Amino acid sequence: MKIGTWTVAGASVCAFVLAGAAPAVFGACSSSSTPPAPPGANSGDGGPSCATEAGAYPPPNCDDTNESCTAPNPPCPTAPCSATSPCLALADNTGKATDDLRLRKLNVTAPPALAEHFIQSGVIDEGVNLDNICGEPGDGSFSWLISFNPTTGQLVTGGAPPTDDPINIGYCFVNENIGGLPVAPITTQMTKQADGSWASAVIPKLYVPIYVNGDPNNVVVLPLTQAKILGVVLSTDGNCIGSFNPDGVTSPTSAGICADQDPSSCQRWHTDGALGGFITLKEADNVNVETLGKSLCVLLTGGTSTSNGGANCAKDANGNILAQGDFCSTTDSPGGCADSYWLAATFAASAALITPGSNVAACNGSLAGGDGGTSPGDGGTTPSDGGGPG
């Protein structure tokens, strides 16, 4: 069963992705792109490199740029996000038992096909960036939530459907069946490390929904297995993981929107948390990248072995994907059976309003028996069935 679609900006992703060559991490859409230094090396500004081998996690605050930022003049307007918050918080967790946050940056460092600049900028950043508020030029289609109690160490994490008002209505955790997958928030335990950062227990399965172009009826599920979150540094007020870089954006347009500066030299966000897990090629073959007319499996493997006119990864008589990844699901380690790809990323997050979503079909469980809104007109989270989160 196909689980939604993943539409990317532009007519195509770099031709060499589909020709079989692995795209470079953070490289431009060209076969001459140069990957960053290997893990443990330093980037141009002396900070740790973000390059990540299979099974490894990047330094939570890594930065592969030289930070040659030029402050925009005039500066980017960030209202209605909190101007006094270093991470442009959407809410205030001060004094609350639970710190509720939404990811504001997901910096993918592995696998190479997803870390490639075109995908990072045109798909991931577009979805994580807010929908034309706080100076951000995204569509808000990719909302990853964190609800953390630092006293008990309990962490609840999962995705959220689009919202019309992130500030006043806020977000709610998706709790529905999407394409046969039980997409719901996951509870795990966090442990404080000697350096003051937090690390989670292993999360056996985490399904993170992406609402393509903000469409509540077009959902793609990112299936992560044996996931873990680590190196998380939370601000004392509970409002920030990482920070916004006001010099990492351009001056605003007439609509008050600020584009990113060249991401190879200056980042909009500084991250302070890391995560990792693996995606099996079998599950990835059920995610259709609509603009390319190919599955996520084909994208991950560079189209090395396909079927269905190149739309899917080819399988053997037992239904096993013929192409190989860099990770093995059965041993939970690099190489081996090579039936998976390792995904790793760093992230920044800021305080956000998280509500039960009792009026939102995608959050209150009323769609649990359906297909989760993977086709138009099937009762997704449109205004007629409860609107956005709240």
Give the per-residue pLDDT at 47: 52
Give the per-residue pLDDT at 21: 33
Give the per-residue pLDDT at 328: 98
pLDDT, tens only, 283-327: 999 877 766 788 889 999 999 999 999 999 999 999 999 999 999
How far apart, in whole angstroms, are the C-alpha atoms of residue 39 and residue 25?
12
Bond before 80 cis per omega within 30 degrees: yes
pLDDT tier, 41 (very low <50, low <70, confident <90, very high otherwise): very low
Q: Which helix (H) or strand (E) holds 315?
A: none
pLDDT, tens only, 215-235: 877 788 899 999 999 999 999
315 versus 15: the higher-pLDDT residue is 315
Could you tell me the residue ranges of all domains in the chain?
Answer: 58-276+346-385
- Say if residue 246's pLDDT is above 90: yes
The pTM of the full predicted model, rounded to 2 decimals, is 0.84
How far apart, in whole angstroms, are the C-alpha atoms of residue 122 and residue 209?
17
pLDDT tier, 19 (very low <50, low <70, confident <90, very high otherwise): very low
Range name among 70-84, 156-170, 212-226 with the lowest pLDDT average: 212-226
pLDDT, tens only, 343-376: 999 999 999 999 999 999 999 988 644 443 333 2
- Calculate the CA dihedral of residues 316, 317, 319, 320 and round it to 10 degrees: -40
Give the per-residue pLDDT at 216: 77
Give the per-residue pLDDT at 65: 83
How far apart, in whole angstroms, are the C-alpha atoms of residue 59 and residue 39?
9
Strand residue runs (E) in the chain: 99-110, 143-149, 154-160, 176-178, 181-183, 186-192, 198-200, 203-211, 219-230, 240-241, 243-244, 269-270, 274-280, 288-289, 294-295, 306-307, 312-313, 327-328, 333-334, 340-351
| Mean pLDDT score across all residues of the chain | 83
Beta bridge partners of 137: 131
Beta-carbon neighbour count of residue 234 at 10 Å?
Answer: 24
Bond before 111 cis per omega within 30 degrees: yes
Percent of the chain at pLDDT exceeding 90: 65
